[in-house]
Amino acid sequence: MKVLVVGASRGTGAAVVAELARRGHLVTAFARSAGRDGQGHEEVRYVAGDVLDPDELRKAMVGQDAVAVTLGIPDNPFRVRLTRRASSPLDIRSRGTRAVIDAMIEHGVPRLVVQSTYGIGETYAQLPISLKLFFTLAIRPQVKDQERQEQLVRESSLAWTIVRPVLLNDEPTTSPAHVGMDDRVPTMSVSRRQVAEVTADELESGERAGRVLSVSAPAMRSRSTSATRSSRRPHGDQRA
C-alpha cells in the first residue's frame, strides 16, 4: 500500500513512518523538515513541503492509497499560550487537514486516519481535573483547533478514522495499546510506538472507518495479582 504521512518529521508522525515502513508499505513522509535530520529510512520517500501549499501537497498526493495526518505544534504549550506564537500556525491542524481532504478528494484517495487528542469533544468529561485545567488554561486555542479538525474529518466524504491518544511518551514498549470506542481508557499514558501501531492497523484494515478510537496503554496488572499467581505455581517453578 502507498501511504502519505503528513506531519512526519518528528514525534508520532516519525513513529508512524517507521511502523509503516517496517510492515513493507511504500511510505511518503511529508513535512517541512522531512529527512533533514539524517534519521530517515532508506525505503521511505521523504518530501519536504508545507501542508498549506496546495501545489506541494498535490504533488505528494499523486498515486497514494491512504493518508495519515499527524499534524501538531511542537513548541512548549505554556510559551505558546503566553506569546501567542509558535513555529507552526496555531490552526495548523484544521487548516492542514482541510487541505489534505481537498487534495485526497481531487486525486481519489479514499482512506484517511487522523491523529487527534483524548480530551477533545465528549472525552473531555473523562479527564482528571489536572488535565481539564491544562486543556482550559494552557492549550485552549489548540483544543478549539482540534475540534474544528475533527469536524472537518467527520463531514468529509472519505473513509476516515480519528485516533485520540492520551498523554504521549517515548517508551519503547512492546505491549499492544488499549483501543476503545466508548470514550473510556484504563490509563492516561501511551507510547508513540503504540499509537503508530494502531494507526498502521487502521490504515491497513479500514474496518473501523467512520469511528473515533480512544488509545492508551493497557491497564497495569497489580503487584498483588502477580504475587498471588506466583504463589500458585508449583514449588521450584522458575518461570519469569
pLDDT score for 170: 93
Residue 230 has pLDDT above 70, yes or no: no
- Mean pLDDT on 128-138: 94
User: CA-CA distance, 117 to 189, in Å (whole number)?
Assistant: 12
Provide the pLDDT confidence category of residue 36 given band limits of 50, 70 and 90. low
Please give the pLDDT value at position 12.
Answer: 95
What would the pLDDT profile of 201-226 be if each residue is shown by its tens digit? 999 998 999 999 999 999 976 444 44
CB 33 within 8 Å of CB 49: no
Single pTM value for the model: 0.87
For 2-231, CATH gives 3.40.50.720
> DSSP state, 90?
T
- pLDDT-based confidence at 33, cuts 50/70/90? confident
Q: CA 113 to CA 209: how far, in whole Å?
A: 9
Gap between the Cα atoms of 99 and 165, Å rounded: 23
230, three cell numbers: 506466583
* Average confidence score pLDDT of the chain: 88
Q: 80-96 burial, b if ≥16 CB within 10 A, otherwise e? A: beeeeebebebbbbbbb
- List beta partners, residue 215: 165, 179
Q: pLDDT tens digit string along 99-126?
A: 999 999 999 999 999 999 999 999 999 9
Rounded Cα gap, residues 176 and 141, in angstroms: 32
Q: How confident is the model at residue 9 (pLDDT cuts 50, 70, 90)?
A: confident
Distance CA(83)–CA(69), nearest Å, equals: 26
**Range 230-234 average pLDDT:** 39
* Whether pLDDT at 166 is above 80: yes
Q: Which residues pair with 3 in a beta bridge?
A: 27, 66
Q: Report the alpha-carbon distance of residue 142 to residue 146 in Å, rounded.
A: 6
CA distances, 124 to each of 52, 55, 127, 129, 164 (Å): 29, 37, 6, 10, 11
The yes-or-no verdict on residue 73 having pLDDT over 90 is: no
Position 228 pLDDT exceeds 80:
no
Beta-carbon contacts of 158 under 8 Å, excluding residues fewer than 6 positions away, are 101, 104, 105, 110, 111, 112
Partnered with residue 169 across adjacent β-strands are 191
Residue-level length of the chain: 240
Which pLDDT score is estimated for 237? 37
